[in-house]
């Protein structure tokens, strides 16, 4: 009886370790695929279905959520300094319903920069939480900020 219990326990442990290994490898593949996509603005906008972009212009792509207090702070800062962003393309994307995102951006007079994307595609293309800021020059990723970032840091990358 002890041999049967030990055999079952051994199989369970081996199965659990195999499952953990498999999920880790799949997660790494997803992260690597995401990293490949975000390196180029064209590939990011194509996958997300964003058509109204100028890939020749320096671009700031921000991934946000209206419930995120860091995102709220960043949008407030951008709104207060919008004249500093006039020479750049600003794209704002969220996984939340369009109405919620637009209502949030309207508070900061930034609704015109909203790009509607499929939430599933967005969350599967960009790994990690919000906020995230991607800065592109000549359609190539120049800097990727994860988390809260000061406006001065964004503008410094674009200088």
Strands ordered across the beta sheet of 140-146: 89-94, 59-64, 132-137, 140-146
Are 72 and 94 in the same domain? yes
Query: What is the value of pTM for the model shown?
Result: 0.84
67 and 14 share a domain?
no
Question: What is the per-residue pLDDT across 18-73, written as a single tens digit (0 to 9) for each?
Answer: 888 888 877 777 767 778 899 999 999 999 999 878 888 999 999 999 999 999 99
Give the HSE-up count for residue 72: Cα atoms under 13 Å, Cβ half-sphere: 7
User: In terms of domains, do 21 and 53 share one?
Assistant: no
What are the pLDDT digits (tens) for 59-87? 999 999 999 999 999 999 999 999 999 99
* Dist CA 121 CA 47 (whole Å): 8
Q: What is the pLDDT of residues 81-122, one digit of tens each?
A: 999 999 999 999 999 999 999 999 999 999 999 999 999 999
Same structural domain for residues 73 and 95?
A: yes
pLDDT at residue 23, as a whole number: 82
Tokens of 92: 């704002």
Q: Which domain holds residue 102?
A: 40-158
Helix/strand/coil percent split, the chain, to 5: 55, 15, 25
Where do we find the tokens 């988390």?
Answer: 147
One domain for residues 11 and 59: no
Greater pLDDT, 17 or 69: 69
**Pair (51, 33) in one structural domain:** no
In this structure, the answer to whether residues 91 and 117 fall within a common structural domain is yes
Same structural domain for residues 22 and 57? Answer: no
pLDDT in tens, 123-144: 999 998 999 999 999 999 999 9
pLDDT value for 81 = 95
Give DSSP secondary structure letters for 67-117. Answer: T-HHHHHHHHHHHHTGGGGTTSEEEEEESS-HHHHHHHHHHTT-GGGB---
Q: What is the DSSP string of 29-49?
A: HHHHHHHHHHTBHHHHHHHHT
Number of domains in the chain: 2
pLDDT of residue 159: 85
Q: Is there a single domain that holds both residue 32 and residue 67?
A: no
């Amino acid at each position: 009886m002890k041999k049967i219990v030990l055999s079952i326990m051994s199989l369970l442990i081996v199965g659990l370790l195999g499952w953990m290994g498999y999920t880790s490898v799949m997660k790494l593949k997803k992260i690597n695929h995401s990293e490949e996509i975000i390196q180029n603005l064209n590939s990011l906008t194509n996958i997300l279905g964003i058509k109204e972009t100028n890939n020749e212009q320096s671009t700031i792509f921000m991934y946000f959520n209206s419930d995120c207090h860091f995102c709220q702070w960043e949008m407030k800062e951008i709104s207060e300094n919008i004249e500093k962003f006039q020479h750049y393309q600003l794209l704002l994307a969220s996984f939340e319903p369009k109405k919620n995102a637009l209502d949030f951006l309207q508070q900061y007079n930034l609704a015109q920069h909203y790009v509607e994307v499929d939430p599933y595609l967005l969350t599967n293309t960009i790994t990690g939480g919000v906020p995230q800021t991607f800065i592109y020059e000549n359609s190539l990723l120049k800097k990727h900020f994860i988390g809260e970032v000061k406006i001065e840091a964004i503008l410094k990358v674009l200088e």
